[in-house]
Each structure stands twice: as C-alpha cells, then as structure tokens.
Amino acid sequence: MLLIKGGDLYSPKHVGIRDLLISQGVEKIGTHLDMDCEVIDAEGKLVTPGLIDRHIHVIGGGGEGGFLTQSSRVEPLDLIQGGLTSVVGLLGTDGITRNVDNLVAYAKALKEYGFSVYCMTGSYGYPPVTLTGSVGKDIVFIDEILGCKLALSDHRSSHISYDELLRLASEVRTAGMIGKKVGCLTLHMGDEPYGLDQVFEILKKTSVPVKTFQPTHISRNEKLFEQACEFAKQGGTIDLTCDDPERTAQALEKAMERKVPWDKITISSDGQGSWSQYDKAGNLIKIGTSPVDSIYKQIKYLCQKKSMEFEKALALGTINVATALELYPKKGSLKEHSDADLLIWNRDLSLDTVIAKGKVLMRSGSPVE
C-alpha cells in the first residue's frame, strides 16, 4: 500500500485536494486518510492519471532509407521521462524485417517492468502481418492485441480496395466483440488525395460502426484534416501526432472552430517511428525519428503557451484515449477501482513522480532503479 497525501487531484477533471490510497489499483480517495504504510507527500503538487500513448513504435520503426535508417526500440527510461504509464505498440512501414512476434514479446517485457502495454497487429500493408496467421485470432487470443494497423492514402501502403477494407474492418470488429476488446483499425493516413474516402463510403453503405476506424496523422494536409473533423462529428475518434507542439496546437484550435467534440480527439507521439520527406520523383530526401515524450511536452505547451485549462489538455492523453480504446475506467482516470497509474506534477508542470500500477518508477524527478 502507498498513501499519496494532499495533492491537487485531476481525475482528469479537477477534483481538488485529496489523498489517494493505492496498491496496484486505487483503493480509496478521500480527505485526511490515515494508513500505516509508505507515504508520498504531494502537497502543493498536481496528481493526475498517467499518460497513454496510443501510437508508439516500441521495437523501433523507420527503414525507408535502408537498414541504417531503422530506429532503435523504446527504452523504459524513455517512457518514464515522458510520463507514460500505458502504451500501444505497433509496427510501421516495415512489416518485413520487423514482425508482430517481436512486438508482442517486447510488450511483455515492458509489462514486467511495470507499464501497461497493448499492441496492434498488422503494419502498413495488406494482407496484414500477424502472429497467429489471422487478424481475428491475434485479437481474440493474444491478450495484448487490441486491433489492427493499416496504412491508407499513402505511397507506402498496399492501396487496399473498398471490398478488402470492408472485409478487414468486419473481421476486426467481430474479433473485438468475441475477445471483449475495442477491435479497431488504427489507420495511418498518408498524403494521397483520396484521404478517408473509402471509410466514408463504408460508413454510408454498411452498418460497420464508426468506432472501428481510428485514423491518425490527421493534420498532415488540409483536405485530410477537414475530412477528419467531419468524421469526428459523426462520432469517430481522430488522432493528432504531436511531434510539433505549435502545429498541433494550431490544429486543435481549428478543430474547436469547427466544433469537433473534444472527447473525440486524442494525441500520440509516433515515438521511435520515422518521419520522412520525398521529392516529386518519390526519392527520399530527409528522414528522422519522432521523440517519445511528445504527449507530455504537448500538454505542457498547451497550458503554458496557449493558456489552455489543464484538465482540458490532460484529457487528450488520458481519458479520451482510454475511452476510444475501451480501456476506461481502468485506464485514463483516477477513481476508486481504476488502475494505480498516476503522475505527480510540480506546479511548473515538471514531473515529480511516475507510478505505474502502484509501482514507483520516478520519485522527486529521478527514475527509481
């Protein structure tokens, strides 16, 4: 047991000064709690749920410029310093030299460290790479796997047909129902002009629910962004890659102007994935790696540079993500019976303490060995 005393609690809604008694989960929230156990004094600090990164390349990404451009895996320290207690690992462009077997194996390793780790089967291509030979079986039988990843509207994608996309969406949806998981398609969105056209056609012609499709990188061009805003107004969840704080802040401002429901927007890092630029002939001219701590930095930027309310910014990396992935209320919130994933922030929004399922991973700004 661990007692956190006197912190200003955001659940992520602002609750006020509270004590939290935790083990692997949140046992009790109240005032003036007393227990014969270890105590962390959080007076003068903020207590929030841990951050959730729904799109992170835990075994590395990249490779578009050859083997030397493959990025390395995410280390536990990277997650701790980014305030991440839960992550969703996935493959990127390269579903050839990297596979779902390695992804799930490393997810299990990170879980032993204390983090909550989930995965998406598949990569950019179609048919998807899988662990069991079947997308449906991966989702139903592999605990960590929540759904499938696929690339759309991208020159590196398989340019899946309408019928193929519909069949895959239906398989993912059904497997999610059987496995009691969200069963979603994480859609890497590229720059090609048809954007989300196929998704809108499926939603118009069939009864596949909108929650099945969860597009990311939606601010990469104006047409895609406008489509994504309309998609969110229809009840879908859209994800912004927050590797550039100002650009992401501007996209959020535009989304608010278009009256996109705030709870339908999430942010993710694309951490250890590659960003790349190409010339008109399709030649790679620049490649780099996305940082892992982007969500934490984005929340801090929104509050300190854009004067956004803390609980509103916090929701983008906590409750909104957990709800979209059907992990709420265990994840994304601090209430009795939720998992004890939490952060203690100093008033300047620097991180003081990181706790994952009751295990202290950072204390007083320093990782715990």
- Residues 57 and 43 reside in one and the same domain: no
Residue 94 falls in the annotated catalytic set: no
User: Which one is catalytic: 270, 293, 339, 341?
Assistant: 270
Q: Give the structural domain span for 208.
A: 51-324
* Residue 94 burial (10 A CB sphere; 0-12, 13-18, 19+): buried
Q: Give phi and psi for 114, each to the nearest 5.
A: 130, -15
- Residues 39 and 129 reside in one and the same domain: no
- Residues 268 and 351 reside in one and the same domain: no
- Residues 33 and 108 reside in one and the same domain: no
Tens of each residue's pLDDT in the chain, 369 residues: 999 999 999 999 999 999 999 999 999 999 999 999 999 999 999 999 999 999 999 999 888 888 888 889 999 999 999 999 999 999 999 999 999 999 999 999 999 999 999 999 999 999 999 999 999 999 999 999 999 999 999 999 999 999 999 999 999 999 999 999 999 999 999 999 999 999 999 999 999 999 999 999 999 999 999 999 999 999 999 999 999 999 999 999 999 999 999 999 999 999 998 777 888 888 888 778 889 999 999 999 999 999 999 999 999 999 999 999 999 999 999 999 999 999 999 999 999 999 999 999 999 999 997
Q: State the pTM of this model.
A: 0.96
- Residues 210 and 80 reside in one and the same domain: yes
- Residues 119 and 70 reside in one and the same domain: yes
- Residues 223 and 350 reside in one and the same domain: no
- Residues 186 and 139 reside in one and the same domain: yes
Q: Give phi and psi for 293, each to the nearest 5.
A: -95, 25
Please give the helix or strand (H or E) that residue 245 lies within, else none.
helix 245-257
* Per-residue model confidence (pLDDT) at position 63: 80
What pLDDT, in 10s, does the model give residues 251-276? 999 999 999 999 999 999 999 987 77
Structural domains counted in the chain? 2
Q: Which residue shows structure tokens 């039988």?
A: 141
Q: Tell me the CATH number at 309.
A: 3.20.20.140
- Residues 185 and 274 reside in one and the same domain: yes
- Residues 285 and 355 reside in one and the same domain: no
- Residues 30 and 101 reside in one and the same domain: no
Q: Tell me the CATH number at 357.
A: 2.30.40.10
- Residues 357 and 212 reside in one and the same domain: no
